[in-house]
C-alpha cells in the first residue's frame, strides 16, 4: 500500500481535467469524400428498408418513431444501423421479459411495437441508430480505439442548446461491431445514405456513469470508496465529477460489494497482525470493520489502515486510460468486444502519475462473435509480495453497462496496482 501512496498523489486527476474538456466526445466528426452511388430505382433509406421484407419489424419501429420523413429526405445523407427481423425479435423478446416468445408470428411483434413501445422510446432508438453522414465500412479505421460518431440524439443541456453536443456511438475496427453489437452486413446503398445491418438493436444509453454506479445496490462500497478518494478534491479533479460529466469518455471497472469486503477484511486483518495483534484479535477487528458496512471508508480508524490517498490510487487503477494526446487520461471507451482473447496489458489512470506502470491484464473469451467471459488481473496481490499478475483474476460479473459518458464493467475483485 505504501507504494500506491507514493506514486499516486492527491492531484492525480489534475492533468486530465482540462484535457477531458478539450478532447471530449463532441469534437467535429471527420468528413469523408466519397463517390455518390445511386442504387437501382434511387430508393431513399426509408424506401429501401420498406422494400426489404427481412427489415419489416424495424420499419414498423421507424413508423412509430415519426422519423420516416427524416430518413426519406433526399437532400440529406445518413448512415443507418438496422437490425433485421431476427434481431428485432431478440430485442422485443428481451424488453418484454419473454412475454413475446421468439417463435411468435411477425404480426405479434409488430403489434407489440405498436402497442407497447412509446413514441419517445422508438424515436430515441431510431435516432441513436442514425449518423448524420455516409460512412462506408472501408472508411472505418482498422485499429482501436473505436471510431466515435455522433448520432441524432442531442444531449440534455442548459440553454442555449448546442446541437453539436450529441450522444455518440462507436464503430469497432473494420466495423466488426457497433458498441458491443456484432455487425452482420455492411454497405447496403440507398440514394441518400448507407445501411449497415446489426445483430440486434443498438440501444442508446440513458444515464451517465454516476447514475449507473450510485443506483446499483451491489456497488455501495464502490460508491463509498469514491467519496473517500475524493476527500479534499474539487471540480473535475474528483472522480465523482468525472462520472457525472456527460462529455467524458471512460471505461470503469467497478468492484462489487463482496470484492471490497474481501479487501477491507484483509487490510484490517493484515494491519492488526503487523502491529502485534494475535490472529484471533485481528479476526475480530476485521469482522468489526465489515460490520460497519460502506461507512467504514469514512471511519478515521480505518483511514489509518487504508488512507484516502491509497483509496484514490486503487480507484485510479480501475479507470482505463490512453496517452493519445501525450499524457494519460481516462478518455477511452472499451466494450467487452474490444478486448483480445490473448492476455493483453491495458493502461490505467495510474499511468498519469507513474507512466511506466504496466497496467491491468485483460482477457476476453469469445463464443462466436460474443464475449462470454472477461477477466482483469491486477499487478499486485493481497497480501503483498506475490509475483506480478499472479493473483486470481477479477471476473466481470456485469458486462458492458453503457452510459452516456462511458462503459461500466462490474468485477468481483479489487485490483491492486502494486
Read off the pLDDT of residues 10-28 as tens digits, 9 standing for 90 and up: 334 433 333 333 333 333 3
- Cα separation of 267 and 256, whole Å? 17
Q: Output the nine-digit C-alpha cell for 403.
A: 452510459
How much is the pLDDT for 39?
A: 52
pLDDT band, residue 236 (cuts 50/70/90): confident
Helix axes 257-274, 220-229, angle to 10 degrees: 60
Section 91-103 average pLDDT: 97
303-337 pLDDT, tens digit per residue, is: 888 888 999 999 999 999 999 888 999 999 999 99
What percent of the chain has pLDDT above 70? 90
- Give CA–CA dist 249/46, Å, rounded: 32
Distance from the first to the final alpha carbon of the chain: 7
- Full set of structural domains in the chain with CATH: 2-22+207-411 (2.30.180.10), 40-133+136-198 (2.30.180.10)
Q: What is the pLDDT of residues 281-296, one digit of tens each?
A: 999 999 999 999 999 9
The sign of the dihedral angle between the CA atoms of 59, 61, 65, 66 is positive
What distance in Å separates the CA atoms of residue 89 and residue 138, rounded to the nearest whole number? 29
pLDDT(276) > 80: yes
Tell me what the mean pLDDT of segment 112-123 comes to.
Answer: 97
Cell of 233: 478534491
Please give the pLDDT value at position 9. 37
Indicate the angle between helix axes 106-116 and 56-65, nearest 10 degrees: 10
| Mean pLDDT for all residues in the chain | 89
- pTM (2 decimals)? 0.89
Amino acid at each position: 500500500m505504501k507504494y500506491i501512496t507514493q506514486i499516486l498523489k492527491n492531484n492525480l486527476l489534475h492533468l486530465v481535467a482540462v484535457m477531458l474538456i478539450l478532447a471530449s466526445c463532441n469534437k467535429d466528426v471527420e468528413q469523408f469524400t466519397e463517390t455518390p452511388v445511386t442504387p437501382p430505382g434511387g430508393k431513399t433509406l426509408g424506401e429501401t428498408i420498406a422494400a426489404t421484407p427481412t427489415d419489416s419489424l424495424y420499419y414498423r419501429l421507424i413508423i412509430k418513431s415519426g422519423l420516416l420523413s427524416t430518413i426519406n429526405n433526399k437532400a440529406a445523407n445518413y448512415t443507418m444501423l438496422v437490425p433485421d427481423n431476427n434481431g428485432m425479435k431478440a430485442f422485443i423478446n428481451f424488453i418484454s421479459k419473454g412475454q413475446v416468445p421468439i417463435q411468435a408470428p411477425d404480426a405479434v411483434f409488430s403489434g407489440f411495437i405498436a402497442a407497447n413501445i412509446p413514441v419517445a422510446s422508438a424515436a430515441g432508438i431510431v435516432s441513436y441508430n442514425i449518423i448524420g453522414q455516409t460512412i462506408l465500412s472501408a472508411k472505418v479505421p482498422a485499429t482501436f480505439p473505436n471510431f466515435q460518431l455522433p448520432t441524432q440524439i442531442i444531449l440534455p443541456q442548459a440553454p442555449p442548446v448546442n446541437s453539436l453536443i450529441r450522444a455518440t456511438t462507436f464503430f469497432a475496427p473494420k466495423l466488426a461491431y457497433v458498441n458491443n453489437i456484432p455487425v452482420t452486413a455492411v454497405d447496403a446503398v440507398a440514394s441518400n445514405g448507407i445501411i449497415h445491418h446489426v445483430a440486434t438493436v443498438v440501444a442508446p444509453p440513458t444515464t451517465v456513469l454516476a447514475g449507473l454506479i450510485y443506483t446499483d445496490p451491489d456497488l455501495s462500497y464502490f460508491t463509498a470508496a469514491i467519496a473517500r478518494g475524493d476527500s479534499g478534491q474539487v471540480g473535475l479533479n474528483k472522480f465523482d465529477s468525472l462520472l457525472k460529466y456527460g462529455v467524458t469518455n471512460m471505461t470503469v471497472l467497478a468492484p462489487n460489494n463482496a470484492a471490497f469486503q474481501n479487501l477491507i477484511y484483509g487490510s484490517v486483518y493484515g494491519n492488526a497482525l503487523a502491529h502485534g495483534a494475535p490472529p484471533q484479535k485481528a479476526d475480530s477487528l476485521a469482522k468489526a470493520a465489515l460490520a460497519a458496512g460502506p461507512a467504514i471508508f469514512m471511519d478515521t480508524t480505518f483511514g489509518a489502515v487504508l488512507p484516502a490517498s491509497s483509496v484514490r490510487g486503487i480507484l485510479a487503477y480501475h479507470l482505463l486510460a490512453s496517452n493519445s494526446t501525450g499524457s494519460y487520461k481516462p478518455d477511452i471507451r472499451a466494450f467487452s468486444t474490444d478486448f483480445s482473447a490473448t492476455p493483453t496489458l491495458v493502461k490505467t489512470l495510474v499511468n498519469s502519475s507513474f507512466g511506466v506502470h504496466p497496467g491491468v491484464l485483460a482477457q476476453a473469451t469469445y463464443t462466436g462473435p460474443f464475449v462470454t467471459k472477461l477477466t482483469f488481473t491486477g499487478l499486485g496481490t493481497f497480501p503483498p509480495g506475490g509475483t506480478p499478475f499472479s493473483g486470481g483474476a477479477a471476473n466481470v460479473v456485469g458486462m458492458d453497462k453503457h452510459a452516456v459518458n462511458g462503459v461500466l464493467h462490474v468485477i468481483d475483485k479489487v485490483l491492486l496496482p502494486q
